Structure 1
Amino acid sequence: MTARRLHRMRQTLERRQPDLQVLLDQVHKPHNLSAILRTCDAVGVPRAHAVSRHQDFTVHRAASSGTGQWVAVETHADLPAAVRAVQGQGMKVYAAHLSEQAVDYRQVDYTKPCCLLLGAEKEGVSEEGAALADGHVIIPMFGLGASLNVSVAAAVILFEAQRQRLAAGQYETPRMAEAEITRTLVEWLHPRIAERCRKEGRPYPALDEDGGVIWTHAPS
């Protein structure tokens, strides 16, 4: 670890957008999941929520080029619980879903707290998901295909959110609390130490200027 790499990680966290998140309902193909997480990292989405029948919610490292580890994934038992968790943080949920109430994805104001709901690869957003969402968005299609791949659709919509937030200056100052930035740096740089601290109920250690661990009390 070098001071330069630590600075880059801190700078990345200072550009994260805590009130811009993604909710994946039954998106289980590893390459799609990994591609979506890679886009999340690129636009500053710090957290994705996932509902899946599969116990092993796997990130395919080859597809994500390692970026999947920089985006937290919070799993939920069912879709209503996931939507409640997101809405409880003050975010509106927009489902990528074709319906009579759907609007062009560019008409949504993504500078406000929001979460993008994406459905399974074949079925798309479920009826339950569509009903729980605060609104529906679509990507206009002018070809013979009816829709885009879920990871491509996620990228299109999230980069529109990035464009709007850049124009609004929302990447210019840190939007994550300093304590959360420091905590995340420890988890990124020293995942084993972070896991041990969580298991033992101890606070995370501090970091020196090169990202090294500074123990206030030596670990047992």
Structure 2
Amino acid sequence: MREATPERRRRLEEVLSRRQPDLTVLLENVHKPHNLSAILRTCDAVGVLEAHAVNPTGGVPTFNETSGGSHKWVYLRVHESVKEAFRYLKEQGFRVYATALREDARDFREVDYTKPVCVLLGAEKWGVSEEALALADGAIKIPMLGMVQSLNVSVAAAVILFEAQRQRLKAGLYDRPRLDPELYQKVLADWLRK
């Protein structure tokens, strides 16, 4: 393994110093590889450190070129069930907002994304399960003014995550490292090996 150049190390440190450990996504049954890859690419772009997935059919799909290699920079934690994923996220202090086409769902821009937040996105065809909706802290939606009811799951993830980024930039949450020093060094060592 070659040693990282000083420029590469600086770039990795710069990116890692903006990672947001309290912003994440939970993907329930998102089984199309290009959608999963595109969501991870957006996670990288807005500074998500770790994403989460549940796929009861066994594992998660393989990555493709859509991710642009972002799967190397965003950790993906796979959970065995929706309940287990929620238990883990709640223990970490996250509020979970499920995307859903429901009358009582709030406009996604009304959520305070400067707090520890997880955005739950469901399967491409069916959306979030009733079980997951019942466990969520609330439902959010992207207002649609055209004929279609919803966006593609990866596009919806991007729209919501960039709103979270906008709020966090305004609040100064990207201005200083947010990872504790031990985790920062662990992740940096891992990234330097890639």
Give the structure-1-normalised TM-score: 0.84
Once the two structures are superposed, what CA deviation does each residue of 1:166-191 show, in whole Å capped at 9, x if it has no partner? 00000001100121111112212226
Once the two structures are superposed, what CA deviation does each residue of 1:64-91 show, in whole Å capped at 9, x if it has no partner? 1111110000011100110111111111
Residue 156 of structure 1 corresponds to 159
**1:16 is matched by which residue type in structure 2?**
R
| Structure-to-structure mapping, 1:9-28, within 5 angstroms | 9-28=12-31
Residue 144 of structure 2 corresponds to 141
5+ residue gaps, structure 1, are: 192-220
2:56–2:81 contact (8 Å) kept in structure 1: no
CA distance in 2 between partners of 1:90 and 1:178 (Å): 20
Q: 2:189 pairs with 182, 186, 190, which one?
A: 186
The 3-state SS of whatever aligns with 1:8 is helix
**2:113 is matched by which residue type in structure 1?**
Y
Corresponding pairs, count = 191
**1:118 is matched by which residue type in structure 2?**
L
Choose 1 or 2 for highest CA Rg.
1
Residue 64 of structure 1 corresponds to 67
Q: 1:86 pairs with 81, 89, 100, which one?
A: 89
Task: Identify the structure with bigger relative contact order (alpha carbons < 8 Å, sequence gap 6+).
Answer: 2
Percent identity between the two aligned chains: 57
**1:92 is matched by which residue type in structure 2?**
R
Give the structure-2-normalised TM-score: 0.95
Offset, 1:56:
4.1
Once the two structures are superposed, what CA deviation does each residue of 1:48-107 show, in whole Å capped at 9, x if it has no partner? 111003434234231111111100000111001101111111110000112232110001
CA distance in 2 between partners of 1:121 and 1:166 (Å): 30
Q: 2:11 pairs with 8, 13, 25, which one?
A: 8
The 3-state SS of whatever aligns with 1:36 is helix
**1:25 is matched by which residue type in structure 2?**
E
1:61–1:68 contact (8 Å) kept in structure 2: no
Residue 109 of structure 1 corresponds to 112
The 3-state SS of whatever aligns with 1:9 is helix
The 3-state SS of whatever aligns with 1:48 is strand
CA distance in 2 between partners of 1:38 and 1:59 (Å): 14
